[in-house]
Amino acid sequence: MPELSKQAKSRISSLNQALQSGALSRVQRILNSGLAPADIAHLIESSPPKSRAVIWELVDKELEGEVIQYLSDELQTQFLAEMSAEEVVDVTSDLDVDDVADILQQLPEQVTQEVLASMDQQDRDRVEAVLSYPEDSAGGLMDTDTITIRADITLDVVLRYLRRHTSLPAMTDNLLVVNRQSEFVGQLPINKLLVSDPSQTVREVMVTGGTVILAHQHETEVADLFERRDLVSAPVVDDHGMLLGRITIDDVVDVIRETADHSLMSMAGLDDEEDTFAPALTTAKRRAVWLGINLITAFIASAVIGLFDETIEKVVALAVLMPIVASMGGIAGSQVLTLVIRGQAVGLLGQSNFKWLFNRELAVAAMNGVLWAAVIALITLLWFNDPGLAAIMGTAIVVNLLVAAVTGAILPLILKAKGIDPALAGGVILTTVTDVVGFMSFLGLATLFYL
């Protein structure tokens, strides 16, 4: 959800006060007197479940469609489940086709078919065209509402044609030029249309060779194209060059935000659609899985420690120093893991440059390992007055930092090749590896030295 303006924050603060005092008429007045749909959605998402139901009931029916498109998938499903097919059609009647498709994808298949059957033929065909593509593809992201023109007409004809419309589709910076077979041939920028001689033909001033997006391209590739080429909109075509629709920057911003949310939440083992104010039981169920996985990995690390219980009994200082080894490896590995996952996400990292990055991270780990091994060994020596323990500690730090760097670099590649999200599983596996290696190297060296 985008950051709110000061005015919106003030109005939402007033709404919260009115909700708490039970002044529902005042809540309804504030909600439906100029508060933007995105701000209303923000208010709903930032409220506990009981307040959400009250706020939704007070939202003007004419605003429901605009509000619901800004809600998370979970809340969309919750509110839509209480509507009939006719009500869903009414709520979504003024939305863009891509937004309608996004909403319908949250509904059971049977309900979706009922909603489609309730639409007129033109709207149904447009929505079905978007639904025929995966949700995370350019085809699933596109809007079929476009203005197309032919290359052989004059700009004066184009201007007269545009004046027949009551409004243009949002984010219209180009008119799309097609031939008689509806194949995409170029774009006519609005600014060129306005400043060029009206007697010129579209073919004379249109732009060819611009960015064209294939319907099967993944949404992250689309976002990358928009970012690198500063696009406001781009045409979407099929494998035969037939124009299907267009993608606009507002949809790409949603993709970028969702990708960032996914990376952030996955690092903690949470769903990127995690509801901040979900009921306690629902939240507990979701988190229990990863807590269980973490428990298993913790037992693995504990089992390694258990192998050296005799050594720890004889040298109690080992128990004091063990967490330092594991912690240093965990931090170093997380830095590399995050860097590699980000490189994969933004398309900067591939087979051609991975070797260089891997060698760089190995060198960094070696330099940091020697530096901090010396510091930690010195502190250990001053603390316990045991040169052997200081040397063991320093060696274990170097070993664990090197292993952490190797694991953090190659783990995302292995997980991605196996079809597993590196952001979701990488942190848990990395922590297990650095803990096990750290304890094994530290306690193993201590066993060789003291026993």
Confirm whether 327 is domain-assigned: yes
- Does a structural domain hold residue 271? no
Does 175 share its domain with 222? yes
For residue 421, being part of any structural domain is answered with yes
Question: Do 286 and 421 share a domain, yes or no?
Answer: yes
pLDDT value of position 10: 65
Contact criterion met (CB below 8 Å) for 173 and 226 = no
Amino acid at 420: I
Residue 32, domain member (yes or no):
yes
Q: Does a structural domain hold residue 141?
A: no
Whether residues 242 and 125 share a domain: the answer is no
Q: Is the pLDDT of residue 43 over 60?
A: yes
Q: What is the pLDDT of residue 166?
A: 87
Spatial distance between the Cα atoms of 354 and 441, rounded to a whole number of angstroms = 28
What does the pLDDT look like over 55-83, one tens digit per residue? 888 888 878 888 888 888 788 888 888 88
Indicate which CATH number applies to the domain containing 51: 1.25.60.10
107 shares a domain with 168: no
Say whether both 110 and 202 belong to one domain. no
CA 53 to chain centre: 27
For the chain, percent of residues with pLDDT exceeding 70: 90
Give residue-wise pLDDT tens across range 235-288.
999 999 999 999 999 889 888 887 776 666 665 556 655 666 677 777 777 778
Reported as a single tens digit per residue, the pLDDT across 122-179 is 888 888 888 889 988 999 999 988 999 999 999 999 999 999 988 888 889 999 999 9
Which pLDDT belongs to residue 406?
A: 96
Q: Based on the fold, state whether residues 197 and 115 are members of the same structural domain.
A: no
188: which strand partners?
175
Run of H or E including 96: none
Instruction: Return the DSSP state at 119.
Output: S
> Considering the domain boundaries, does residue 143 fall inside one?
no
Buried b (16+ CB within 10 A) or exposed e, 54-69: ebbebbeeebbbbbbb
pLDDT digits (tens, 9 = 90+) for 173-215: 999 999 999 999 999 999 999 999 999 999 999 999 889 999 9
**Paired strand residues for 3:** none
**Residue 148, Cβ neighbours under 10 Å: how many?**
12
Please check whether residues 91 and 173 belong to one and the same domain.
no
User: Does one domain contain both 117 and 152?
Assistant: no
Q: Which residue is it, tokens 């952001």?
A: 423
CATH of the domain at 352: 1.10.357.20
Residue 275: the pLDDT is 64
Which domain-ending residue is among 89, 106, 135?
A: 135
Residues 292 and 252 in one domain: no
- pLDDT score at 388: 93
Could you list the residue range(s) of the whole structural domain that residue 77 is in? Answer: 6-135
The last residue of a domain, from among 79, 102, 135: 135
Pull the structure tokens for residue 122. Answer: 């033109």
User: Do 295 and 227 belong to one domain?
Assistant: no
d(CA 361, CA 125): 52
pLDDT above 80: residue 424: no
Q: pLDDT value at position 273?
A: 59
pLDDT above 70 (res 327): yes
- Domain of 170, CATH number, reads 3.10.580.10
Q: How confident is the model at residue 7 (pLDDT cuts 50, 70, 90)?
A: low
Please state the separation of Cα 212 from the chain's center in Å: 23
Residues 382 and 149: their CA atoms lie apart, in Å, by: 81
Q: Quote the number of domains for the chain.
A: 3
Contact between 235 and 217 under an 8 Å Cβ cutoff? The reply is no
Q: Which of 111, 135, 159 is the last residue of a domain?
A: 135
Mean pLDDT of all residues belonging to the chain = 86
State the pLDDT at residue 108.
79
Pairing of strands 243-248, 233-237: antiparallel
Q: Extract the tokens encoding 168.
A: 């243009």
Work out the pLDDT band at 6, boundaries 50, 70, 90: low
Residue 272 lies inside a defined structural domain of this protein: no
Percent of the chain, pLDDT > 90? 45
Q: Are residues 96 and 39 in the same domain?
A: yes
Q: What span, in angstroms and rounded, lies between the C-alpha atoms of 399 and 294?
A: 24
For residues 419 and 384, membership in a common domain is answered with yes
- pLDDT, average across residues 409-424: 88
Res. 405: pLDDT tops 90: yes
Edge-to-edge order in the sheet of strand 213-214: 213-214, 233-237, 243-248
Please report whether residue 142 resides in a domain: no
